[in-house]
C-alpha cells in the first residue's frame, strides 16, 4: 500500500471542512476525487503534502505514506517528501512559479534542492525533462518567465517539474480545468503516459467527471467534506448509487445521444 | 521600459520643467517688496535712488515680465540662478553649500531606516500574530505617534546633555554630529516602513508561488530570501523614492532642532528673509529632484520586474 488515509478530518479555524475521509492507493494506481467546488477535495490533497493553507489543521484520523505516519512528520520530513516522493500539479502551474524569476532558474533551484547535481548538470537535466514532455525550444523555455507562456505550456512545464524525480505519488489539483478542450486532452494523455512509465500513482482532483472517468481506476465522489460514493470508476459510471453522482454524470455534455469523457 | 519610452518620459519632464520654472518665476515677480532694495540693504545703510536704479538696470529688473523670464531661464540653463539677497552670494553656490549636510543626513537616515525596518518587517510578517509581531507593531505604532521634533529634543536631552555622548550644538557636518538627527529621522521613517515591509511580505507570503515552492520542497528560508523578498521589494521602491525625495529636499524641523546646516534650514531662513531668488532656486531643486527620482524609480522597475520589461500583463 502506497498511501492509506483513514478517517481524516480537517478544519479551518473551527469549521470542519473534511469529515472522516478514507482513501487508499496502490503503487501506480490512479484515483480521482470529484465533487463541486467547496466539497473539500483540494483540502484533502493539500493535507497529504502538508501544505494546508493558513489556519487549516488536521483534527482527526491518520495518514500513512509508504508505511510512515505523515502526522508525525517534522518540517524537514515534509520538505524531503514534497517534490521528491510526492509532487503536485496545480490548475495553473504558471502561477505556482515566482513571476519575476526565469523558469530555468526555478527548475534548477528545485533540482539542486533535492540532489547533489551542480547547476549546469541540473540545467541540462531540466532541459532533457522538458524535451520528454514534448516541449519545443527548451533552451528558450528555460530563459522565459512564466507570464510569457501559454496555459498549455505552463501546465506541461508544471508536470515536467513535478515528474522530474519520478515521484511515487502525483497529486493533481484540477490539472486541466484552465485549458481549452484540445489542450486538455493532450495534457491528460501526456500526464498519464509519463506516470505509467514511472509507475507513479495519481490522485486526481477535478470537478469534471468526464476527465475523472477517462483517467482513473478508482473514483471518490465528495460533497460538503464527506464521501458520497467510492469504488471502481467503471462501476460508478455505469451504475451510480447516489443521487448526487447521477446529477454529476448528467452534467456531462451529450453529443449525438452519447456521453463522451471529453 | 524601452529606450523610446524613456525618451518620452524625458520629453515629458522637460515640459513639466518649463511649467515649474514659470510658476517659480511668477512667485518672485508677484511677491511684495523690492528685490533691489533687499539686495542693497545691509543693516541701516541708506542707499541712494541712483544706485538702486543702476542695480535694477544691471539685474535687468526694469525689463518687462517675459524678457525677465527668458533671461532668468537662460541663466538657469547656464547654471546661474541669480543672487541670494540674504547670503549675498549666487543662489547656486548657496544651494551647493547646504547640499553636503542634507545629502549626508539623507543617506545615513535611509541606511539606518533600512537596517531597522527590513528585518523588523520581515520578522513581523513571518511570525504574524505571535508575541514578537505584536511587540514590533506596538513599537512601530509608538514611532508613528511621536512627533519627530519631540523625539529629537528627547534624544538631545538624554544623549547630548545627560550622557554627553554626542555634541549638542550642530552647525557643521561631522560624523558625531550627524548621529542624533539621523537616528531621529530614522525612528519616524522606520516606524512607517516596518509596517510597509510587513504588509508587502505578508501579501507575497499569501501568493500561490509560495505554495508552489513549498510543494517542491524548497525550504522556507530560501523561499523567503529568493522569492518573497524580491517580489515584496517592488511596491516598496516607489515609497522609497518618495522618501529619498523628501529627505533630499531638506527636513526643516529636524535641521532646526539640531541646527544642522542643510537645505531645509536654509529654505526656512530664505522664506523668513524674503530671499526670493533663493526660494526659487530651492523650489526648482525640489522639482528637479522629484522628477529625477520618479524617472529613476520607473526605470529601475523595468529591470526588477520582467513583466514590465517584456511588456506582459501586470
List CB contacts (< 8 A) between B307 and chain A: 99-100, 145, 147
Stretch (H or E) spanning A21? strand A15-25
Nearest beta carbon to residue B209 from set A49, A83, A96 = A96
Give the distance from residue A108's alpha carbon to the nearest chain B alpha carbon, in angstroms: 11
A100 with B222: Cβ contact below 8 A: no
A222 belongs to a structural domain: yes
Give alpha helix (H) positions in chain A.
41-48, 75-81, 103-114, 119-132, 138-143, 151-163, 181-198, 209-215, 233-238, 243-250
End-to-end CA distance of chain B: 13
Q: What is the pLDDT of residue B257?
A: 86
Cα R_g (chain B), whole angstroms: 24
Three-state DSSP string of A199-215: CCEEEEEECCHHHHHHH
* A25, A201 contact by CB (below 8 A): yes
State CA B209 to chain mean position distance. Answer: 36
Q: What is the pLDDT of residue A255?
A: 63
Q: What is the pLDDT of residue B108?
A: 94
Inform me whether the pLDDT recorded for B263 exceeds 80.
yes
Domain ranges of chain B: 3-92, 100-308
Q: In which band, very low, low, confident or very high, does the pLDDT at B170 lie, cut at 50, 70 and 90? A: low
Inform me whether the pLDDT recorded for B110 exceeds 70.
yes
Task: Count contacts between A and B (CB, < 8 Å).
Answer: 81
List CB contacts (< 8 A) between B217 and chain A: 78-84, 110, 113-114
Three-state SS for A173?
strand
A143 belongs to a structural domain: no
Which class would CATH give B100-308?
mainly alpha
Q: Which are the contacts of B304, defined by CB distance < 8 A and separation ≥ 6?
A: A100, B230, B233, B234, B237
Asked if B305 has any chain A CB less than 8 Å from its own CB, the reply is yes
**Cell numbers at residue A243, please?**
443521487
Q: Which are the contacts of B313, defined by CB distance < 8 A and separation ≥ 6?
A: A147, B307
Range of the domain at A73: 3-93+168-207+215-259
Lowest-pLDDT range of A80-84, A212-216, B80-84, B115-119: B80-84
Asked if A54 has any chain B CB less than 8 Å from its own CB, the reply is yes
The per-residue pLDDT for range B185-198, each reduced to its tens digit, is 999 999 999 999 99
Q: What is the pLDDT of residue A259?
A: 58
A113 with B226: Cβ contact below 8 A: no
Q: What is the pLDDT of residue B312?
A: 47
A133 belongs to a structural domain: no
Inform me whether the pLDDT recorded for B314 exceeds 80.
no
The C-alpha cell 515552492 sits at B213
Three-state SS for B25?
helix
Chain B contact probe: residue of A53, A89, A99, A105 with most B CBs at under 10 A: A99
B218 with A110: Cβ contact below 8 A: yes
Inform me whether the pLDDT recorded for B309 exceeds 90.
no
Stretch (H or E) spanning B69? helix B65-77
Stretch (H or E) spanning A20? strand A15-25
A230 belongs to a structural domain: yes
Q: What is the mean pLDDT of chain B?
A: 86
Inform me whether the pLDDT recorded for B75 exceeds 90.
no
CATH number at residue A173: 3.40.50.300
A8 belongs to a structural domain: yes
Q: In which band, very low, low, confident or very high, does the pLDDT at B212 lie, cut at 50, 70 and 90? A: very high
Beta bridge partners of residue A64, listed in sequence order: A4, A69
Asked if A101 has any chain B CB less than 8 Å from its own CB, the reply is yes
Three-state SS for A17?
strand
Q: Note whether ipTM > 0.90 here.
A: no
Q: What is the residue-level pLDDT of chain A in tens, covering all 262 positions? A: 899 999 999 998 888 889 899 999 998 899 999 988 888 888 999 999 988 887 788 998 999 999 889 988 898 999 989 988 999 999 888 889 999 999 999 999 999 999 999 999 999 999 999 988 888 888 999 999 999 998 888 988 998 999 999 999 999 998 888 788 888 888 888 888 888 888 999 999 988 888 888 889 999 999 888 898 999 988 888 888 888 888 888 877 766 655 554 4
Composition of chain B by helix, strand, coil, percent to 5? 75, 0, 20
A126 belongs to a structural domain: no
A100 belongs to a structural domain: no
* Average pLDDT, integer, range B202-224: 92
Distance CA A166, CA B159 (A): 64
List CB contacts (< 8 A) between A114 and chain B: 217
pTM over 0.80: yes
* B261, B267 contact by CB (below 8 A): no
B306 with A113: Cβ contact below 8 A: no
A142 belongs to a structural domain: no
Distance CA A106, CA A142 (A): 9
Instruction: State how many domains chain A has.
Output: 1
A49 with B307: Cβ contact below 8 A: no
Amino acid at each position: 500500500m502506497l498511501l492509506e488515509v483513514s478517517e481524516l478530518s480537517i478544519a479551518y479555524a473551527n469549521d470542519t471542512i473534511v469529515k472522516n475521509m478514507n482513501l487508499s492507493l496502490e503503487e501506480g494506481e490512479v484515483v480521482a476525487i470529484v465533487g463541486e467546488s467547496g466539497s473539500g477535495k483540494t483540502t484533502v490533497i493539500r493535507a497529504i503534502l502538508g501544505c494546508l493553507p493558513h489556519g487549516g489543521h488536521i483534527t482527526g484520523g491518520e495518514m500513512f505514506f509508504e508505511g510512515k505516519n505523515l502526522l508525525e512528520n517534522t518540517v524537514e520530513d515534509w520538505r524531503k517528501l514534497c517534490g521528491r516522493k510526492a509532487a503536485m500539479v496545480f490548475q495553473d502551474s504558471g502561477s505556482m512559479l515566482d513571476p519575476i524569476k526565469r523558469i530555468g532558474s526555478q527548475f534548477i533551484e528545485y533540482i539542486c534542492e533535492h540532489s547533489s547535481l551542480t547547476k549546469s548538470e541540473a540545467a541540462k537535466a531540466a532541459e532533457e525533462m522538458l524535451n520528454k514532455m514534448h516541449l519545443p525550444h527548451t533552451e528558450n523555455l528555460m530563459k522565459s518567465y512564466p507570464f510569457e507562456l501559454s496555459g498549455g505550456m505552463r501546465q506541461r512545464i508544471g508536470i515536467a517539474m513535478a515528474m522530474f524525480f519520478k515521484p511515487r505519488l502525483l497529486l493533481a489539483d484540477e490539472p486541466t480545468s484552465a485549458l481549452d478542450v484540445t489542450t486538455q486532452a493532450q495534457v491528460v494523455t501526456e500526464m498519464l503516459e509519463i506516470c505509467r512509465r514511472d509507475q507513479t500513482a495519481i490522485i486526481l482532483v477535478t470537478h469534471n467527471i468526464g476527465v475523472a472517468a477517462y483517467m482513473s481506476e478508482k473514483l471518490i465522489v465528495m460533497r460538503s467534506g464527506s464521501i458520497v460514493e467510492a469504488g471502481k470508476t467503471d462501476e460508478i459510471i455505469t451504475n451510480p448509487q447516489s443521487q448526487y453522482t447521477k446529477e454529476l454524470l448528467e452534467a456531462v455534455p451529450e453529443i449525438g445521444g452519447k456521453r463522451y469523457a471529453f | 521600459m524601452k529606450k523610446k519610452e524613456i525618451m518620452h518620459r524625458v520629453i515629458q519632464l522637460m515640459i513639466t520643467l518649463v511649467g515649474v520654472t514659470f510658476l517659480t518665476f511668477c512667485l518672485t515677480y508677484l511677491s511684495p517688496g523690492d528685490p533691489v532694495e533687499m539686495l542693497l540693504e545691509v543693516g541701516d545703510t541708506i542707499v541712494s535712488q541712483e544706485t538702486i536704479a543702476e542695480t535694477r538696470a544691471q539685474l535687468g529688473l526694469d525689463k518687462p515680465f517675459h524678457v525677465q523670464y527668458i533671461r532668468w531661464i537662460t541663466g538657469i540653463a547656464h547654471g546661474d540662478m541669480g543672487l541670494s539677497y540674504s547670503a549675498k552670494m549666487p543662489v547656486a553656490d548657496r544651494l551647493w553649500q547646504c547640499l553636503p549636510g542634507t545629502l549626508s543626513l539623507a543617506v545615513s537616515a535611509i541606511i539606518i531606516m533600512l537596517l531597522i525596518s527590513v528585518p523588523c518587517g520581515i520578522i513581523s510578517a513571518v511570525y504574524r500574530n505571535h508575541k514578537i509581531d505584536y511587540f514590533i507593531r506596538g513599537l512601530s505604532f509608538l514611532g508613528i505617534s511621536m512627533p519627530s521634533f519631540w523625539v529629537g529634543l528627547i534624544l538631545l536631552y538624554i544623549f547630548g546633555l545627560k550622557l554627553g555622548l554626542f555634541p549638542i550644538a550642530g552647525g557643521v557636518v561631522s560624523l558625531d554630529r550627524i548621529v542624533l538627527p539621523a537616528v531621529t529621522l530614522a525612528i519616524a521613517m522606520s516606524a512607517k516602513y516596518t509596517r510597509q515591509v510587513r504588509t508587502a511580505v505578508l501579501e507575497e507570503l499569501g501568493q500561490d508561488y509560495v505554495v508552489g515552492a513549498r510543494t517542491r520542497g524548497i525550504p522556507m528560508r530560501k523561499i523567503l530570501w529568493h522569492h518573497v523578498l524580491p517580489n515584496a521589494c517592488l511596491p516598496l521602491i516607489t515609497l522609497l523614492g518618495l522618501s529619498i525625495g523628501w529627505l533630499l529636499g531638506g527636513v526643516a524641523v529636524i535641521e532646526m532642532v539640531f541646527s544642522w546646516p542643510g537645505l531645509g534650514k536654509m529654505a526656512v531662513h530664505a522664506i523668513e528673509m524674503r530671499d526670493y531668488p533663493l526660494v526659487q532656486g530651492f523650489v526648482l531643486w525640489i522639482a528637479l529632484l522629484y522628477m529625477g527620482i520618479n524617472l529613476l524609480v520607473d526605470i529601475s522597475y523595468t529591470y526588477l520586474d520582467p513583466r514590465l520589461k517584456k511588456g506582459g500583463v501586470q
